[in-house]
Amino acid sequence: MSLLPFDDRDGFIWFDGRMVPWRDAKIHVLAHGFHYASLVFEGERLYDGAIFKGQQHTERLFYSAQQMDFTIPYSVAEINAAKAEVIAANKLTNAYVRPFAWRGSEQMGVSGKLNKIHVAVAVWDWPSYFSPEARMAGLKVVTGKWRRPAPDSIPCHAKCAGVYMICTLNKHAAMEAGYDESLMLDHKGAITETTAANLMFVRGNEIHAPSTESFLNGITRQTVLPLAERRGFTIVERTILPEELRLFSEAFVTGTAAEVTPVASIDDVVFPGREVTKVLMQDYDDLVHGRLKLEDAA
């Protein structure tokens, strides 16, 4: 598969308050964010010219920065304006939006108090996180070796670079073994999510969602659960163990990039159903494209 490198593209990136040609948006190799993962980010989707829940994403970016002990040197309103500006500069109406903030290169070492905080916003065309074939067939998932750390050992509710390192390791291992995704367990062995999307299960008229004690409660997750309630489903948020997987008829993931995508199997457990997942896929698609109003899904 031919890939378009992310460092060699046409277009513009909003970088520290100004629009920069894509290829010129560079940082120093000794940036603290690069060496010590002091970087926070958001993943957002632009649908028909409007970012879905853009304000909520921006507010979470600032929350993540607070958890990482630094202050973004712009206001929420200024970041929202920057997102609009870079979208217009790149002439996109359906795209992926990535605002991020990181510590610079003034100080090298674990302490980063003296480092300047940089902010950038990039936007690019990205129709789906999974291939259309994988999305319709459902994802093949395998349990990963690496587990989510205990919630008192990492800022697990911040969307920050460091928490994704084990996701990369599990994702690579899964793909090398012929799977689409990896299941992340927590430090106690309970089910949490996949490497980059939240996970939910269907049993009868109930949607079972792992409790978010040790991982990010995604904005898409917070959107899909009310959509399911609107359809009359009972939401059960709880600790879910791997030995319970055979109790469920369907499974699906939710995320800004993944949207709503069915899961075909986890390890040797097959989920034959798609009925509920397809309904929620359509409801979510209607919502993000404005065919369903937010107040109707509240």
Q: Which of 116, 159, 171, 278 is catalytic?
A: 159
- Outline where DSSP puts E strands in the chain: 12-15, 18-21, 39-41, 44-47, 50-51, 95-103, 117-124, 139-143, 181-185, 191-194, 198-203, 206-210, 234-238, 250-255, 259-266, 269-270
Question: For residues 139, 194, 267 and 175, what is the CA-based torsion angle, rounded to 10 degrees?
Answer: 70
- Stated as kind and residue range, the H or E segment containing 109 is none
Cα 211 from Cα 178, distance rounded (Å): 29
Cα 273 from Cα 80, distance rounded (Å): 40
Q: Do residues 234 and 200 lie in contact, with contact meaning Cβ atoms separated by under 8 Å? A: no
- Helix (H/G/I), strand (E/B), else coil: 101: strand
Q: Do residues 41 and 161 lie in contact, with contact meaning Cβ atoms separated by under 8 Å? A: yes
- Per DSSP bridges, beta strands 198-203 and 44-47 are unpaired
Residue with tokens 């699906």: 252
83 flagged as catalytic:
no
> What residues are labeled active site?
159
